Structure 1
């Protein structure tokens, strides 16, 4: 139940980017193995069902919330971060196409949280979104969980290294976001310099 609730919140609510989706799935996979120890041992089948259900239901709910109220919010918002985030989402969808963008977003922390309501607000076709978010949800939830399970099955006492492993996963999931922010800031520096130079010339 905990796996379902966390993934549902992470993929539905805009505040969900604080929740540890990748690390939770990987850790749950580890705890499904025989080497996980006697204190906590989860059922792989139940974890997979809860993970897929939470990821799919959360994304679909986020999409419909964006479809119902997102357009009006974006039309009147003056929040710089929301405006910039919407612009990046537009570019992301245009660059990769709806299908690839929705699937790829599953594997990037923060992006998988905001892409669902923004896809609804930006009028991505409902059928297209449903098809690709289910495909991406299956690939992400099952893939990350099974990766943790396979690692735990192959390394005895892997639970002793749980914290370093989770730390690596968190850093890896945030790396694409950090690189995108850095690229955006670098791209913005020349334009600001041109604005200042133009102001001086005038």
Structure 2
């Protein structure tokens, strides 16, 4: 089965071409934060994408792992820069328009995370699906010093983007763990897909409930 998965991945790479493969991976990493694409589909823009890309690079002779990882690092860095600038330009109302109640709760938690950890929150959030999406914007809203954000963003892009991609590559390159690496990748991707679908359905249900029973200003809530 492992050989079959590897053959399928390499076959897909042959169909789209190496350059297109690079662009797809880099584009998804960038869109995950810059375009809020990672809110409901973290499995497409997060850790599992990078790990799987590293696996493919190890299995396909046409993919240069260093070109891939450097591009991932740049895409991750630029994606967060865009999020930061959007937050600084449009302020808190920009976040208020994102998603339903569940998303707003995640934003509130991310704001607490940013207030608590400051510079380090930008680095750590790379490894947290929701934090990865919202921290750059929240840092911009909070008027974090630009150079402080740039340094934190750079460290995070290297640790997360470059680091996880290389882990996937070397996991597939070591014979002793090559077979298991595909199993691990499959489990991570499957779990991420399930989590993304559940998040999307939950947020959709909360939006429908809020539309059917809107809360008037000043009215008591179930959390009060």
| Structure-1-length-normalised TM-score | 0.72
Distance 1:28-1:79 versus aligned 2 partners, 3 A rule:
closer
The unaligned stretches of length 5 or more in structure 1 are: 179-190, 196-202
Matched, 1:162 2:182: yes
- Measured in 1, the distance between the counterparts of 2:64 and 2:176 equals 18
1:133 to 153, 176, 184: 153
| Stretch deviating more after TM superposition (23-32 or 132-141) | 23-32
2:80 to 59, 64, 69: 59
- Measured in 1, the distance between the counterparts of 2:99 and 2:25 equals 35
Matched, 1:111 2:136: no
In the other structure, the counterpart of 1:6 is: 28
2:89 to 68, 77, 88: 68
Q: Deviations over 1:111-145 (max 9, x none)?
A: 20121112212222222111101111111111101
- Measured in 2, the distance between the counterparts of 1:78 and 1:148 equals 32
Distance 1:68-1:46 versus aligned 2 partners, 3 A rule:
same
2:52 to 14, 19, 27: 27
- Measured in 2, the distance between the counterparts of 1:165 and 1:11 equals 22
Distance 1:29-1:77 versus aligned 2 partners, 3 A rule:
closer
Q: Is the 8 A contact 2:96 2:104 kept in 1?
A: no
| Structure-2-length-normalised TM-score | 0.65
2:142 to 102, 117, 122: 122
Q: Is the 8 A contact 1:23 1:170 kept in 2?
A: no
- Measured in 2, the distance between the counterparts of 1:140 and 1:68 equals 26
Question: What is the total number of aligned residue pairs between the two structures?
Answer: 174
- Measured in 2, the distance between the counterparts of 1:90 and 1:161 equals 35
In the other structure, the counterpart of 2:203 is: none
| Stretch deviating more after TM superposition (17-26 or 54-63) | 17-26
In the other structure, the counterpart of 1:183 is: none
In the other structure, the counterpart of 1:50 is: 71
- Measured in 1, the distance between the counterparts of 2:188 and 2:107 equals 29
Distance 1:170-1:94 versus aligned 2 partners, 3 A rule:
farther
| SS at 1:14 equivalent | coil
Matched, 1:16 2:38: yes
- Measured in 1, the distance between the counterparts of 2:63 and 2:176 equals 17
